[in-house]
Amino acid sequence: MKNALRAYGALLRLYPASYRQEFGAEMLQTFRDHYFDIQNSKAETGAVFWFSAIVDETKNIVRQNVSSLGDANGFFKPSWPKVLTALFVLPFYVLCSAATVKLSLAIPHPAVSGLGAVLALAMTLVIVPAAISVVSSYFLAFSIVRMFRRKRTASA
Amino acid sequence: MTDIEDLLPLTPAVFHILLVLAKGEKHGYEIMKQVQLDSSGGVRMGNGTLYGSIKRMLADDLIADAGEKPGDDARRKYYKLTTRGRKVLNAEMKRYVETAALIKSRKLAPTLSLDGARA
């Protein structure tokens, strides 16, 4: 029982702090009751019990962490200026990369010049736009979620 | 606050939790066991689903904290249905009854008894 509670306690640590504070002790107690019954009734094997518990907890851990992201007050707190900055950085970066390609091609050594141009193109066309898209989408999605939450709270 | 109609249809977990609490105050594990019994094992609710649903239901004012029971472990928190929760449950049951009536009137499930017993 002690090991099971310790393992479940470790799972609970993956929840956001606010959620853990509100439901942590109660969830541990419910788990204790459930685990005690399972052990006594032998209705399920330990492996089946743990598998379904981990699958169920994982889904809720992801859900609660995602929903708490918009409430965070740190770096990940989304805002419209961040969305707009992320979107405007892209054309600026494309221009800078185009200039780098042009400069690379001007290098007299053909191997260095070719490698520089390929790297600059790869950064311009794939890696950075992909990263910017992901970051922009994140900020955009959570700004929208937050906007709806505000609307809901205001109408409450 | 969200309109009752906007909350419908309820998820199976929320609907079953409301059904259980309509019969009285219960704590987490009692809810979990009763849901499994009521649904004949059809709705298996783990701790994560249960408390994720409870959090949403508290926010939507469908259920409320009923505190602790004297003599019971202080870590067992009891929940009760709110007036709004009862209204939402009634609205959802009405939807089920109307759907069942439609199925019956169109004879879509001749082998299914709508009086409660599964044929």
pLDDT per position as a tens digit, A6-19: 999 999 999 988 89
What percent of chain A is modeled with pLDDT above 90? 20
Determine, for residues A60 and B52 on separate chains, whether the beta-carbon distance falls below 8 Å: yes
Helix (H) or strand (E) holding B53: helix B47-59
Token output for B55:
């959090």
* Predicted pLDDT at B91: 95
* Rounded CA separation B43/B49 (Å): 11
Altogether, the residues listed in chain A come to a count of: 156
* Whether the predicted pLDDT of A112 surpasses 70: yes
* Whether the predicted pLDDT of A87 surpasses 70: no
Torsion, Cα B105 B118 B53 A37, to 10 degrees, reads 170
Positive/negative CA dihedral, A39, A40, A45, A49: negative
Determine, for residues B27 and A59 on separate chains, whether the beta-carbon distance falls below 8 Å: no
Residues of B in contact with A30 (CB under 8 A): 27-29, 32, 47, 50-51
Q: How close A22 gets to chain B, by Cα (Å)?
A: 9
Average pLDDT over residues B30-43: 90
Residue A49 burial class via C-beta count within 10 angstroms: exposed 0-12, middle 13-18, buried 19 and up = middle
Which of the residue ranges A11-25, B65-79, B97-111 has the most confident prediction, judged by mean pLDDT?
A11-25
Determine, for residues B48 and A58 on separate chains, whether the beta-carbon distance falls below 8 Å: yes
* Predicted pLDDT at A56: 92
Average pLDDT over residues A41-55: 82
Q: Which of A76-85, B7-16, B78-87 has the lowest mean pLDDT?
A: A76-85
CB A59 within 8 A of CB B49: yes
Option in A25, A30, A64 nearest B29 (CB): A30
What is the band of A78 on the pLDDT scale with cuts at 50, 70, 90? Answer: low
CB A5 within 8 A of CB A31: yes
Token output for A127:
């890696």
Which residues does B contribute to its contact with A (CB < 8 Å)? 1-2, 27-29, 32, 44, 46-52, 54-55, 73, 75-77
* Whether the predicted pLDDT of A120 surpasses 50: yes
What is the band of B12 on the pLDDT scale with cuts at 50, 70, 90? Answer: very high
Q: How close B40 gets to chain A, by Cα (Å)?
A: 15
* Whether the predicted pLDDT of B118 surpasses 50: no
Residue with tokens 């956001």: A16
* Rounded CA separation B26/B45 (Å): 15
